[in-house]
Amino acid sequence: MVDRKYVTPFQRMFAEQYDVIHRLETNKLRNVAKLFAHLLHTDAISWEVCFAVNYSAVQMFQFMAY
pLDDT tens sequence across 12-43: 999 999 888 888 899 999 999 999 999 999 99
User: Domain coordinates of the chain in residue numbers?
Assistant: 4-65
45 phi and psi angles, rounded to 5 deg: -125, 155
Q: How far apart (Å, rounded) are the C-alpha atoms in residues 55 and 42?
A: 25
Which pLDDT score is estimated for 19?
86
Of the pLDDT bands very low, low, confident and very high (cuts 50, 70, 90), residue 53 is confident
Closest CA to 12 of 37, 38, 36: 36
Q: What is the mean pLDDT of the chain?
A: 85
